[in-house]
A and B are shown apart, each in its own frame.
Chain A
Amino acid sequence: YELTQPPSVSVSPGQTATITCSGHKLGEKLACWYHQKPGQAPILVIYADSKRPSGISERLSAFNSGNTATLTISGTQAMDEGDYYCQAWDGGCYVFGTGTTLTVL
């Protein structure tokens, strides 16, 4: 099972960034999203398709339907830069997306 993300997304400060994750019938699975900065472990920012863990900014939101999960970051800031990975469970194996590097120009 594969989860495909765009390699990179660029956005201006204050604008909205959208990162997609595509996989066969992904909407029928629970999707999660992680944010990773260089040299650090990933941080869970979205679980169960659209829920934010405690301490995660309300500027992050997500939706999962059909074959695509989407992470949206509103009012993008420099601190949002880094790599974003989607993740889902597929028949007993946890699969991660290919990753998207978000650049705030």
Chain B
Amino acid sequence: QVQLQLWGAGLLKPSETLSLTCAVYGGSFNNYYWTWIRQSPGKGLEWIGDINHYGATSYNWVLGGRAAISTDTSKNQFSLRLASLTAADMATYYCARRPHSGFDFWSQGDLVTVSS
């Protein structure tokens, strides 16, 4: 069974950079896209971006280039860095796996708070 485990800092200040890492257990790391998604009460679910095992990335343009996703294939892990945080970035963050259609395995959520 595939499991995704997410960890990272939960309380940050405005202008700081969010760093989250997701480890994938079980299944293949190849042949999938590895995705970051967030959920806030005001905006609902929002796709942040994804990466494949080759390192090819795609991002949601609404983030204005603040997001960066990377992988460590030796550890079956991928990471998110989101720069220049504001209160609008407060949300529960998830990592997930994407095969051809849909996000089929998700991590537990990680609540990120941005406050001075």
Query: Which residues on A are within 8 Å of B, measured CB to CB?
Result: 30, 32, 34, 41-44, 46-48, 51, 53, 85, 87, 92-99
| Contact of B102 (CB < 8 Å), options: A47, A95, A99 | A47
| 25 intermolecular pairs with C-beta atoms under 8 Å apart | A30-B101, A32-B101, A34-B103, A41-B109, A42-B106, A43-B106, A44-B104, A46-B102, A47-B104, A48-B100, A53-B102, A53-B104, A85-B45, A87-B45, A92-B58, A93-B47, A93-B60, A93-B61, A94-B60, A96-B44, A96-B46, A96-B47, A97-B44, A99-B44, A99-B45
Looking at chain A's contact residues, the main secondary structure is: strand
Report yes or no: B47 in contact with A95, Cβ–Cβ below 8 A: yes
* Cross-chain pair count, CB within 8 angstroms: 50
A53: min CB distance to chain B, Å: 6
Q: Given the interface contacts A85-B44, A85-B45, A96-B44, does A47 sit within 8 Å of B101 by beta carbon?
A: yes
Give the distance in Å from the alpha carbon of A104 to the alpha carbon of B63 in the complex.
37
Q: Are A41 and B94 in contact (CB under 8 A)?
A: yes
A34 to B58, CA, bound (A): 22
Q: How large is the interface on B (under 10, 10 to 19, 20 to 34, 35 or more residues)?
A: 10 to 19
B interface with A by C-beta (< 8 Å): 35, 44-47, 58, 60-61, 94, 100-104, 106-109
Instruction: Name the CB-closest residue of A to B103.
Output: A44
Name B109's closest neighbour in chain A (CB-CB). Answer: A41
Among B35, B44, B94, B100: residue with most chain A CB under 10 A: B44
